Structure 1
Amino acid sequence: MALLSPERYFSRISSIDIQRDLMGAGFGHVLLDVDNTILSRATHDIPRDVGVWLGKARTAGVEFCLVSNNWHASVHQLAGVLDVPVVGKSCKPLPQGFLLGLAKVGGTRKNTVVVGDQLLTDVLGAHLVGLPVYMVQPLVEVDLPHTMALRNFERAVLGNRRPEPVSVVADDPSRQTP
């Protein structure tokens, strides 16, 4: 496992097929980044497709824990709204936030995947503790200044790698491969 290479790369979280890419791959637990993964930095809301996806995943039996570097009360409020555990101030990419998230969700390295939008926090941190990572493109281009600077490094590391195409999903015929 290359430290800065996600196992899978998707355009957004709702492009991850719950049955095939999570349950079928043995992942019943997800450590989930917040900002620009499920919560738009531009609007501070969860986009509709992301909310629907989270609901379907929970119905399918997926258990989530939010793991965020965010230290504001809003990340804990979001966890309350979603009714999931949270590790705030996680100091990603350091291991402790991921390990605490694993403990909170009751997962193991074999049945847990990290989903996030940044190479140097989500991907690197997960790989440092031996967890697989599904990287998603950020929901919007709006972000903190230091994160925007790191996006240039991410583009260089990812090179020509593009998100996987969206496939037809059995329970949603309106989603089709581009």
Structure 2
Amino acid sequence: MNAASGSGPRSAIIDARELVKIYRRGASEVRAVDGISLQVGRGELLAIMGRSGSGKTTLLDLLGCLLRPTSGTLSIAGRPVERARDGELATVRREQIGFVFQEFNLIATLTALENVMLPLRYAARRRGGRERALELLELVGLGGRLRHRPAELSGGEQQRVAIA
């Protein structure tokens, strides 16, 4: 799998060069990602497609700073991250990257509003968290479902809470 977009590295929000990820277990190794280079500009959409086991999830985990590459370079918003410390990576993930996982990872005992407010408590700007959460839920069409717990929401509504 190899991809490149028309954006240059200066305008790229994601700039990956020759990324490699090798998983090792004993004497065996699997090259899950092998020399991928790509640049993604702000607002640009990118589809990553391939057969099962072709490295798509590993690539997304690398680009999302959930995994470290075995080799290669990766910059997010101009910031090199391949050798960043765990705390620095957490900051990059919190401030620059959004994830929507297959499992929405909502906390069952919290309402939709509380689930959206939770990560805002850990953000640099803690003030206005409730107002921001209300605004985000309104944007995804859930302004009328603020007090509902995940079990009371449809799968699509749960996904929108996760997006918010």
TM-score (norm 2): 0.25
Larger Rg: 2
Q: Report which structure shows greater RCO (CA 8 Å, sep ≥6).
A: 1
